Amino acid sequence: MSTAEIAIPTDFRDEEIPILDFGPYMAGEDGALEELAAELRHAQEDVGFYFAINHGVPRALIERTHNNLVRFFDLPDAEKRKHENYIPPGSTIYVSSTVNENTKPDLNEMLRIVRERPDDHPGVKADLKPYFGPNQWPDESLLPGWKAEMTEYYDAMEALGHKLLPLYARALDLPADYFDGLFDDPLWTTRNQHYPAVEGEENQFGIAPHRDHGFITLLPVTDTPGLQIQTQSGRWLPANTIEGAIIINTGEFLNRWTNGRFMATPHRVMPPKTDRYSLAFFFSPSWDTLADPMPSCIGPDNPPKFKPVRFLDYRDWYVNQNYLDELDKSEPEPPSPKESRFQF
């Protein structure tokens, strides 16, 4: 079945994650941009998450990428630990979370891949590998074709992220080209994760309650449950399995950029009953993009709620708070552009 043939379920109760059909918009139908932008506005102002169906990323590509995750995480532990972008189980505590007092390490292992850039890129020359690469890829002799197939998937997700930008602009009552030039060098990153089927202790999770850091997160839905979002009433809502869908949510940077208008919704992953693999793709703007409230999100009765911050500074602050060797360096607020440690 192609993504264009996915039907929209109709039996959802109140406080469910909305389902947005991207088919007409992706096909360029008249009026589809404005219609879908209105649905997106509701999803982001009232829920913070939505399922995208008929989004144009081939299901076969997502399935191959999922299988490649299994191939990597099936490698011997010693082999995985050779990768500087591999994060073993027990390395992360979301201490920055305002949703829950997280005190125990998350029960997952992760391989981080970032957008590849040329050698003369300022971020590469500054040796900021966690943000700008280059990536350390698995040895081709161990995982033949792995890099090529994963790169194909990341390219497709980046293309989808760019396709979403006019929708977000119109949902925010801005011109469709508002984000043009702000995502020329998108600072996207990925969390390719394996959640083993293990029992957690009290207040321990696959991923503890938190909000994402970036512009938006795109996550292909899997058959293995675990993801839950917190609704405005405070209840934890399991994310249903919608065949072929990608679930998308707002990050904290977009929340700040919209002066709180678009919700960065808390979510968590419960330890699964069977092994779970996920392909989280964090799509964000160029590193020097400033989150100064958008003109449609402030006014005489709605002054700015946050101080301006550049994206790289915000991401760096967020990451440094949530890794065990950085706990003693936690800062309550990200640095301003003048306070930034990145001056290139």
- Tell me which fold the domain 3-339 belongs to: Jelly Rolls (2.60.120)
Predicted pLDDT at 164 = 98
Predicted pLDDT at 151 = 97
Integer Cα distance of 308 and 39 in angstroms:
28
**Helices within the chain (DSSP H only):** 23-26, 32-46, 59-73, 77-80, 122-125, 129-132, 146-171, 252-257, 311-321
| Tokens (6 digits) for 281 | 């793709």
Q: What are 126-163's pLDDT values in tens digits?
A: 999 889 999 999 999 999 999 999 999 999 999 999 99
Q: How many residues make up the chain in this entry?
A: 344
Could you give the angle at the alpha carbon of 99 between the alpha carbons of 94 and 104, nearest 5°? 35
Predicted pLDDT at 330 = 57
Integer Cα distance of 179 and 172 in angstroms:
11
pTM here is: 0.92
Could you give the angle at the alpha carbon of 36 between the alpha carbons of 177 and 222, nearest 5°? 105
Order of strands across the sheet that contains 109-111: 19-21, 49-53, 246-250, 216-220, 276-283, 189-195, 109-111, 86-87
Mean pLDDT (the chain, rounded): 90
As a three-state string, the secondary structure of 188-249 is CEEEEEEECCCCCCCCCCCEEEECCCCCEEEEECCCCCCEEEECCCCCEEECCCCCCCEEEE
In contact, 255 and 262? CB cutoff 8 Å: yes
Would you call 27 exposed, middle or buried from its count of C-beta atoms within 10 A (0-12, 13-18, 19+)? exposed
User: Which residue reads 């698995």 in tokens?
Assistant: 138
pLDDT-derived band at 105 (thresholds 50, 70, 90) equals confident
pLDDT-derived band at 327 (thresholds 50, 70, 90) equals very low
pLDDT-derived band at 6 (thresholds 50, 70, 90) equals very low
**Higher per-residue pLDDT: 66 or 344:** 66
**Higher per-residue pLDDT: 182 or 204:** 182
